[in-house]
């Protein structure tokens, strides 16, 4: 059983900064949500709309922003970014499992693979020719790493991740189960009424500090490489097509689809189930709302939304019927405008 780590509130502030209000000697052993935290745990308030939960929380302490510093009598830490502060405290109390170097006896590792003593290769993993692992890399049970692939130091592949040949993953990355990196892109061409496959000869290059969610797929490039820059965070079940380029520190939520050769800028955020056409460019610091379809390049930073608001089913059907007639309605409006202008000319 893992021994609990205790830390006083004052020690937390000394480690991570912030302003301490109240008893600094309170001992904290874990983080918790406002509505479910217990004694010995610290929670955080991200938005004023959660003030009712703050009033009822059983947490021993909370992390709040400057605007809610006086919203509770509990011992508290005031931070400009409570959510980010909470993430640091959570990481402190919940560090990754220590890596025990070694190769499981059931793993299949080619003799040309370079595996440092500090790296861990789990049961039934398969590592191909010339695979290179960085120090303290973890290859989980059932993973497949193809020929000439490279995995950086402190990168962790959870169970059943597939890394195709010649793909590179940087340092301190986290790849969750079921992810497939480097499968063929959807490259096909029609000839004589039949589809012919175009060989996909590029790679996937992933930078440092990238997280890739469960069952997310990143296709290899058709000719050039598919590139994921440093600090990108990918949620579960995302599809990234061949030759896509995603800029550093962009975050993409679940079920997003990005078609081939799209270029996404740095510090962007794509909401869940948004769709990005191929061969377009999205500028840095663009936010795309959930469910939005982007069909052309976005050259300027900002938030873009194309989601039709929900309503009752009956009302939605009526609105949809009107939408189908918009083109005809626009023609009628133009005709009426023309008649109005003609009438005014005659009167004058």
- The CB-side HSE value for 53 (13 A sphere, CA atoms) comes to 17
Token pair of 203 as six digits: 């790679």
Active site residue 242: yes
Q: What is the 3-state secondary structure (H, E, C) of the chain?
A: CCCCCCEEHHHHHHHHCCEEECCCCCEECEECCCCCCCCCEEEECCCHHHHHHHHHCCCCEEEECHHHCCCCCCCEEECCCHHHHHHHHHHHHCCCCCCCCEECCCCEECCCCECCCCCEECCCCEECCCCEECCCCEECCCCEECCCCEECCCCEECCCCEECCCCEECCCCEECCCCEEEECCCCEEEECCEEEECCCCCCEEECCCCEECCCCEEECCCCCCEEECCCCEECCCCEECCCCEECCCCEECCCCEECCCCEECCCCEECCCCEECCCCEECCCEEECCCCEECCCECCCEEECCCCCCCCHHHHHHHHHHHHCHHHHHHHHHHHHHHHHHHHHHHC
Choice among 73, 242, 245, 338 that is catalytic: 242
Closest to 94 in 3D by CA, of 2, 1, 220: 2
Distance from CA of residue 296 to its chain's centroid?
A: 22
Whether the Cβ atoms of residue 128 and residue 149 lie closer than 8 Å to each other: yes
In this structure, the number of other CB atoms found within 10 A of the CB of residue 43 comes to 26
Active centre residues (catalytic): 242
């Amino acid at each position: 059983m893992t021994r609990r780590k205790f830390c006083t509130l004052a020690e937390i502030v000394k480690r991570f900064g912030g302003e301490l209000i109240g008893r600094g000697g309170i001992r904290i052993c874990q983080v918790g949500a406002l509505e479910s935290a217990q004694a010995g745990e610290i929670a955080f308030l991200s938005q004023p709309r959660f003030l009712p939960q703050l009033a009822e929380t059983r947490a021993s302490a909370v992390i709040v922003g400057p605007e809610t510093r006086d919203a509770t009598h509990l011992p508290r830490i005031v931070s400009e970014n409570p959510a980010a502060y909470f993430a640091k405290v959570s990481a402190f109390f919940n560090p990754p499992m220590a890596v025990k170097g070694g190769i499981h006896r059931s793993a299949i590792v080619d003799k040309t693979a370079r595996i440092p003593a500090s790296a861990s290769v789990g049961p039934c993993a398969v590592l191909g020719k010339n695979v290179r692992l960085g120090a303290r890399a973890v290859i989980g049970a059932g993973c497949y790493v193809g020929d000439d692939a490279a995995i950086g130091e402190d990168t962790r592949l959870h169970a059943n991740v597939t890394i195709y040949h010649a793909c590179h993953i940087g340092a301190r990355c986290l790849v969750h189960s079921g992810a497939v990196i480097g499968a063929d892109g959807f490259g096909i061409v029609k000839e004589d009424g039949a589809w012919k496959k175009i060989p996909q000869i590029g790679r996937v290059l992933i930078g440092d500090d990238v997280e890739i969610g469960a069952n997310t797929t990143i296709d290899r490039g058709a000719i050039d490489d598919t590139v994921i820059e440093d600090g990108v965070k990918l949620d579960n079940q995302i599809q990234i097509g061949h030759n896509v380029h995603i800029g550093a520190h962009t975050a993409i939520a679940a079920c997003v689809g990005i078609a081939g050769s799209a270029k996404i800028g740095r510090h962007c955020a794509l909401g869940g189930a948004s769709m990005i056409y191929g061969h377009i460019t999205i500028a840095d610091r663009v936010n795309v709302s959930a469910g939005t379809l982007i069909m052309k390049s976005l050259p300027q930073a900002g938030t873009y939304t194309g989601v039709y608001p929900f309503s009752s089913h009956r009302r939605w059907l009526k609105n949809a019927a009107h939408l189908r007639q918009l083109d005809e309605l626009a023609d009628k409006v133009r005709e009426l405008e023309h008649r109005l202008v003609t009438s005014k000319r005659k009167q004058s």
